[in-house]
Amino acid sequence: MEKQFPKGFLWGAAASAPQTEGAALIDGKSPSTWDKWFELEPELFYNGVGPEHTSNTYHMYKEDVHLMKEMSLNSYRTSIAWTRLLPDGETVNPKAVEFYRNYFNEMVANGVEPIINLFHFDMPWWLMEKGGWEARESVDKFAYYAKVAFEQFGDIVKKWATFNEPLVHIECGYMGDAHYPKVHDFKRAIQVAYHTLLAHAKAVEAFKEVGIEDGEIGIILNLSPAYAKSEEEADQAAAFHADLFYIRSFLDTVVKGYFPEELIAILKEHQLTPVVEEGDRQIFEDNTVDFLGVNYYQPLRVQAPLPQEFPAKGVGYFSRYYDWPDKVINPHRGWEIYEQGIYDIAMRVKEDYHNIKWFISENGMGVSEEERFFDENGQVQDDYRIEFVTNHLTKLHQAIEDGSNCFGYHMWTFLDCWSWLNAYKNRYGYYRVDLDDAFKRTAKKSSHWMKELSETNRLV
Ligand code: BGP
Query: What is the average pLDDT across 57-68?
Result: 98
List, chain by chain if needed, residues with CB within 6 Å of any ligand 1 atom.
16, 19, 164-165, 168, 222, 295, 333, 362, 366, 412, 419, 422, 426
Task: With beta carbons less than 8 A apart as the criterion, state whether 238 and 302 touch.
Answer: yes
For 16-20, 265-269, 306-310, 357-361, which range has the lowest pLDDT when averaged over its residues?
306-310
Q: What is the dihedral of CA 397, 401, 403, 406, to 10 degrees?
A: 30
How remote is the CA of residue 453 from the centroid of ligand 1, in Å? 24
Query: What is the average pLDDT across 56-84?
Result: 98
Query: What is the average pLDDT across 108-127?
Result: 98
- Specify the pLDDT at position 312: 58
How remote is the CA of residue 122 from the centroid of ligand 1, in Å? 13
Note the pLDDT tens digit of each residue in 219-247. Answer: 999 999 999 999 999 999 999 999 999 99
Query: What is the average pLDDT across 430-443?
Result: 95
Note the pLDDT tens digit of each residue in 312-358. Answer: 555 789 999 999 989 999 998 889 999 999 999 999 999 999 999 99
Which CB contacts under 8 angstroms, 24+ apart, belong to 309-318?
315/186, 315/266, 315/270, 315/272, 317/237, 317/238, 317/241, 317/242, 317/245, 317/266, 318/226, 318/238, 318/239, 318/241, 318/242
Asked if ipTM goes beyond 0.95, one says: yes
Angle at 385 between CA 229 and CA 418, to 5 degrees: 95
Rounded CA separation 298/364 (Å): 10
Is the model's pLDDT at 196 over the cut of 90? yes
- Specify the pLDDT at position 311: 64
Query: What's at 241, amino acid-wise?
Result: H
Residue nearest to atom 4 of ligand 1 (CA): 419
Q: Which residue has the higher pLDDT, 312 or 299?
A: 299
How remote is the CA of residue 366 from the centroid of ligand 1, in Å? 9
Exposure string over 83-118, b if 16+ CB within 10 A, otherwise e? bbbbbebeeebeebbebbeebbebbeebebbbbbbb
Is the model's pLDDT at 302 over the cut of 70? yes
**Which atom of ligand 1 is least distant from the CA of 222?**
7
- Specify the pLDDT at position 53: 80
- Specify the pLDDT at position 307: 84
Please report, in angstroms and rounded to a whole number, the separation of the first and last CA atoms in the chain.
Answer: 7
Ligand 1 site-directed mutation target among 19, 171, 362, most atoms within 8 Å of CB: 362
Residue nearest to atom 14 of ligand 1 (CA): 419
Q: What is the pTM of this model?
A: 0.98
Ligand 1 site-directed mutation target among 419, 422, 425, 433, most atoms within 8 Å of CB: 419
Would you name the residues annotated as active-site residues?
165, 362
Query: What is the average pLDDT across 199-203?
Result: 99
How remote is the CA of residue 411 from the centroid of ligand 1, in Å? 11
Note the pLDDT tens digit of each residue in 362-407. Answer: 999 999 999 999 999 999 999 999 999 999 999 999 999 999 999 9
Note the pLDDT tens digit of each residue in 86-108. Answer: 999 999 999 999 999 999 999 99
- Across the chain, mean pLDDT equals 97
Query: What's at 64, amino acid-wise?
Result: D
- Specify the pLDDT at position 308: 84
Instruction: Count Cβ atoms below 10 Å from residue 181 Cβ, excluding itself.
Output: 16
For 25-29, 52-56, 182-186, which range has the lowest pLDDT when averaged over its residues?
52-56
- Specify the pLDDT at position 313: 55
Is the model's pLDDT at 296 over the cut of 60? yes
**Which atom of ligand 1 is least distant from the CA of 333?**
16
Which CATH number among 1.20.1050.10, 3.20.20.80, 3.40.50.2300, 3.10.50.40 corresponds to the domain 3-455? 3.20.20.80
Query: What's at 12, amino acid-wise?
Result: G
Rounded CA separation 86/258 (Å): 31
How remote is the CA of residue 406 from the centroid of ligand 1, in Å? 22
